[in-house]
Amino acid sequence: MSVKVLCLTQGPLAAPSSRYRVYQLLPHLKTHGLDCVVSPALDDDTYRRLYQTTGGSRLAAFNAIRRQRQQDLQRLSDFDLVWIQKGIFPGLTASLECQIAARRPIIFDFDDAIWLPRHGGNPILRFLHRESTVQKILRRAAAVIAGNNFLADYARQFSGNVTVIPSAVELARYRRGTGTAVGWIGSRSTLPYLRSLAPVFQQLGITPRVIAAGTPDFPADFRPWQMETEVDELAQLGIGVAPLPDNPWERGKCAVKILQYMACGLPVVATPVDVQRELVRDGITGFHATTPAEWRDRLQQLLADAALRQRLGNAGREVVAQSYDLPVVAAQVAKVLLAV
């Protein structure tokens, strides 16, 4: 007899966090006896207007979310437990989560430092943000799944049942990279991280390949991100880069782009910030770089040595196979859900 799970995700399949933390796991969870039904807070059209263009109304989106979650409250009796991905209104209110927790056990899954106000974005949302809201959700959850140790350390202040489960990639989907381009994949909001390397690219005389939902404002070989083409685009790269500032918000990130590079057998140059330091093992799966000089030297070294690129890339792909492949991670999630 299967366990019926209502999955409340922040977004539809196109939303990276929801896709990696929930959607892609569903077929594997079913094999573990978990029958999951997904209810996204935002539908495809609303998500696209808000995050992939500039024409969305946040007020209209909030009203739509509230209507959807009220409908979800009406059908809680059909489910054994509720899996909440990153919160319904993280940092603003926990009223719906508390209503759900009063009737069904909830599992709270998060892969960002959502207790912190986000940099940029809507100033009203930054003003209304309350860390106490996130703490309340953590206290009410029957179990918490954190995407990395930094997030788990925070959650353990408020919950006695916290498990670290990393994000995963489906290794079988990724082909080995066959190109030599230095590349980066990410969202419109994270493009400023890559912009910091523009002077380094200029010194090396290279144009980075950028796969993103937003257009870069620096010289780049730009490829608009599409779910259907991202794997093919990544397979054309030769080196993956992951610059990141060492700030509290960034320490909460779960480095999916690095997992994608490594799944393609690409060597990675990355800033050694929390999870990125763990994934990119200096001299084994890639290189660490902090200063512009280090970035320049490491990229120059990889561009000049095809054998080195292959050796580091092979090691990275093996790391993914052992610890971050989708079936491996899905089994860990299933264990937490079934225990609750």
- Short-list 24, 22, 28, 27, CA closest to 8: 22
**CA distances in angstroms from 239 to 169, 251, 294, listed in the order given:** 18, 23, 15
Question: How many domains, in total, are found in the chain?
Answer: 2
Range of the domain at 46: 3-168+326-339
The reply to whether 192 and 261 lie within a common domain is: yes
The reply to whether 119 and 133 lie within a common domain is: yes
Q: Residue 26: what residue type?
A: L
H helix or E strand, kind and range, residue 45: helix 44-47
Q: What is the CATH number of the domain that holds 182?
A: 3.40.50.2000
The reply to whether 39 and 156 lie within a common domain is: yes
The reply to whether 150 and 10 lie within a common domain is: yes
Q: How far apart are the first and last CA of the chain?
A: 16
Express the helix, strand and coil content of the chain in percent, nearest 5 each: 45, 20, 35
The reply to whether 286 and 331 lie within a common domain is: no
The reply to whether 161 and 175 lie within a common domain is: no
Query: How would DSSP label each residue in 211-245?
Result: EESS--SSS-EEEE--TTTHHHHHTTEEEEEE---
The reply to whether 39 and 110 lie within a common domain is: yes
**CA distances in angstroms from 163 to 21, 29, 278, 306, 321, listed in the order given:** 14, 17, 18, 39, 21
Instruction: Using only the alpha carbons of the chain, give its radius of gyration.
Output: 20
The reply to whether 152 and 203 lie within a common domain is: no
pLDDT, position 120:
58
Sheet holding 268-270, edge to edge: 221-224, 209-212, 181-186, 237-242, 268-270, 286-288
| Region of residue 121 (left: phi > 0; alpha: psi -120 to 50; beta: else) | left
The reply to whether 211 and 320 lie within a common domain is: yes
> How many CA atoms lie less than 13 Å away from 287 in the CB half-sphere?
19
Q: What is the largest CA-CA distance in the chain?
A: 62
| Residuewise pLDDT in 10s, the chain (340 residues) | 799 999 999 889 988 999 999 999 999 999 999 999 999 988 777 777 766 665 567 677 778 888 889 999 999 999 999 999 998 776 778 899 999 999 999 999 999 999 998 665 667 667 778 899 999 999 999 999 999 999 999 999 999 999 999 999 999 999 999 898 999 999 888 999 999 999 999 999 999 999 998 899 999 999 999 999 999 999 999 999 999 999 999 999 999 999 999 999 999 999 999 999 999 999 999 999 999 999 999 999 999 999 999 999 999 999 999 999 999 999 999 999 999 9
- Short-list 178, 314, 289, CA closest to 236: 178
The reply to whether 159 and 40 lie within a common domain is: yes
pLDDT, position 119:
63
pLDDT, position 206:
96
pTM of the model: 0.93
